[in-house]
Amino acid sequence: MRGTSSAGAGSFRPFVFLTVLSAGLVLAACSDIDEAMFGPGSPSDETAAAEAEPGAPPPSPETGTVPGTLPAQTGGGAATVAGAGLAAPITPITIEPGSDTGTSVGQQVSQLRTQLSGLQDQIMASAQQLSDLDGQAASAAGSYHDAKAQITTKLQMGTTRGNPELVSEWNAAQSSLDQLTGTINGLSALGTQVAGESSRAHYILDTIQSTYQVSGAVDEDHRQLAVLEDETNQTIILIDRVLKEVSSDVQRQTAFVGNERANLTTLASAIKNGELYGGDVGLPIAAAAPPAPAFGAAYGGTPLVTVRFDRPDVQYQQILYTALAQALQSRPDASFAVVAESPTRGTAAAVQLAQTEAKRHAQDVLRSLTDMGVPPSRVTVASATDPGLSTTEVRVYVR
C-alpha cells in the first residue's frame, strides 16, 4: 500500500514514511478578610475601636476621617489613575498656589499657573482614558482566549466536521479581535491627543523661561516662577510616561491581533475538517518571502510531503500541517511549490484523465495550505508526469 511521506526544511532530511491506511492517516474575592471570615461588625472591628484613643470622636462613616480634621489633599484636583495596563499608578503633580504680588509679572505667573492646572486635568483625563481602554482590551482578550480555548479543547477531544457550536465560538473569537481592533484605534487617537498635550506643556515651559527676562518683577515673582518651572518639568515627565504607555500598548496589541487573525485562519480550517492541526504557525508565516527560484532548482531533492491519492478521501491535512510547521521553524521565510504528478501508463485518454485528476488534487492541497495560514503569494502550483507512478500524487516542495 502506498503512503504519505514528509521531509523537514533546512537540510530537508526525509521524514519517516507514514502509511495511508484504509481509514485514513493515523497520527498519533472578598474585599476584606475579616469581613469574609466574621461578617460585618466582626470582633476585629470592635477591637480596633477599643484600642482607639479614649475620648476621641469616632470616624465619619462617609469620609473615614475624624471630625475636625481635613482629608489628605491631592494636587491638580484629580485623583490617582491606576489600571491593569499601567506599569504604576499615575499621580497628578501638586500645583502650589501663589500669592498676588500686584506686578504685571505676577499676573503672568498666575495665568501660567492656571494653564498648567488645566493641563494637569487634561492629562489625568487622558490617563483615565488609557486605563479604560486597557480594561476594554483586557476584557476582549479574555473573551477571545476563552472562545479559542473552547475551540481547541473540543477539537483535541474530537468532533464532527463543521461543528456549528465551534463555528459559533469562532465567530465570537473573531468579534473579540474586532473589539481589540477598535481599542487600538482608540489608543491611536489618544496618542495624538497626548502628543498635543506634550506640545502645550513645552510651550508653557518656554513661556516661563522667557518670563524671567521681563522687567518689573519682584523676588517673589521669580520664586513662584521657579516653582512653576519645576512643576511644569514634572508634568512633562508625566505626559511622556503616558505617551510611552500608549505607544507600547498600540504596538503590543497590533502585533497580537495580527498574529491571532492568522491563527484564527488555521482554526477555521481545523473546524472545517474537525481535526486540530497543532500549534499556531501564524507568526513564522508572516515573514516576507524571498523571490522564487526557477522550476528546476525549486523541485530538486526530497519533497516535504508526498500525498498519494490511491483511494477516495485521503486525509492528509494533519501530516501536511506537521511538516509545514517544522519547515517554517527551520526557515521562517520559506515558500512552497505544489506539484501535481500523474502516471503515463495506458491510453492517451487515460493519461489525460490522470493529469486532470492530479491537477484537481493539487488545487485541494493548495487550498489546505492557504487554510493553514500560508499566504497565496508563497505557493506556486505546477504539474508533471512520472512513468514510474501507478496513481496520481501531489508533492509539496520547500523553495
Query: 102 and 232: one domain?
Result: yes
Mean pLDDT of the chain: 75
The 10s digit of each residue's pLDDT in 327-341 is 888 888 888 999 999
**Can you tell me whether residue 336 is helix, strand or coil?**
strand
Residue 122 belongs to some domain of the structure: yes
Q: Which of 3-17, 124-138, 169-183, 347-361 has the weakest average pLDDT?
A: 3-17
Query: 252 and 287: one domain?
Result: no
Q: The whole model's pTM is what?
A: 0.54
The 10s digit of each residue's pLDDT in 145-174 is 999 999 988 888 888 888 999 999 999 999
The pLDDT, as a whole number, for residue 87 is 57
**Residue span of the structural domain in which 357 resides:** 3-26+281-398
* Cβ neighbours around 357 below 10 Å, total: 15
The 10s digit of each residue's pLDDT in 69-108 is 333 333 444 566 655 556 567 788 888 888 888 899 999 9
CB 89 within 8 A of CB 81: yes
The 10s digit of each residue's pLDDT in 225-257 is 999 999 999 999 989 889 888 988 988 888 888
Q: Residue 9: pLDDT above 80?
A: no
Residue 170 belongs to some domain of the structure: yes
C-alpha distances (whole Å) from 159 to each of 275, 280, 333 are 7, 20, 33
Supply the CATH number for residue 296's domain. 3.30.1330.60
The 10s digit of each residue's pLDDT in 32-80 is 333 433 344 444 444 444 444 444 444 444 434 333 333 333 344 456 6
Domain end among 224, 240, 273: 273
Number of domains in the chain: 2
Domain end among 273, 301, 329: 273
Return the C-alpha cell found at 239.
Answer: 505626559
Domain end among 247, 273, 299: 273
Q: Tell me the angle at which helices 104-157 and 219-273 cross, rounded to the nearest 10 degrees.
A: 10
Query: 189 and 330: one domain?
Result: no
The pLDDT, as a whole number, for residue 26 is 30
Residue 301 belongs to some domain of the structure: yes
Backbone Cα Rg of the chain:
34
The pLDDT, as a whole number, for residue 17 is 33
Q: What does residue 299 show for φ and ψ, rounded to 5 degrees?
A: -105, 15
Residue 38 belongs to some domain of the structure: no
Query: 259 and 138: one domain?
Result: yes
